[in-house]
Amino acid sequence: MIEYAEKRDFLRMPIDCELNFSEVDGGKRHQGKVINLSSKGILFTSSKSFEIGTRLDIVLTPSNSITPPMQARVIVSRVDAREVLYDIACQIEDVKS
């Protein structure tokens, strides 16, 4: 049996919720779906691709009403194309209060 040791410093939590985002320097608002979240990063799906290094302002809206939305600035670190959507991996730069 092959053993696997997790090499990430922070665990990723699977999350299924909506995400609204736009490029920092202005631009159209987009919608996506969050796949997972950690203390340093986020992975979500989008119908639009972005260049690595693009800064985005995101608003993650949990499905339950008792948890407030999370607003953050992120930097795109990886983009993986799927059939119709893109998986966008980002590093969290700043969480807004």
Range of the domain at 44: 13-96
Cα–Cα separations (whole angstroms), residue 31 to 9, 28, 60, 89: 28, 10, 10, 15
Domain with 33 in it: what CATH number? 2.40.10.220
Stronger pLDDT, 21 or 62, i.e. the higher one: 21
Residue 95 has pLDDT above 80, yes or no: yes
Residues whose CB falls within 8 Å of the CB of residue 93, separated by 6 or more in sequence, listed in order: 55, 72, 73, 74, 75
Residues whose CB falls within 8 Å of the CB of residue 50, separated by 6 or more in sequence, listed in order: 23, 56, 76, 79, 86, 88
Answer yes or no: is 37 within a domain. Answer: yes
Q: Please tell me the distance from the alpha carbon of residue 32 to that of residue 35, in angstroms, as a whole number.
A: 10
Number of domain units in the chain: 1
Tens of pLDDT, residues 31-56: 999 999 999 999 999 999 999 999 99
Q: Please tell me the distance from the alpha carbon of residue 29 to that of residue 25, in angstroms, as a whole number.
A: 12
Q: How confident is the model at residue 18 (pLDDT cuts 50, 70, 90)?
A: very high
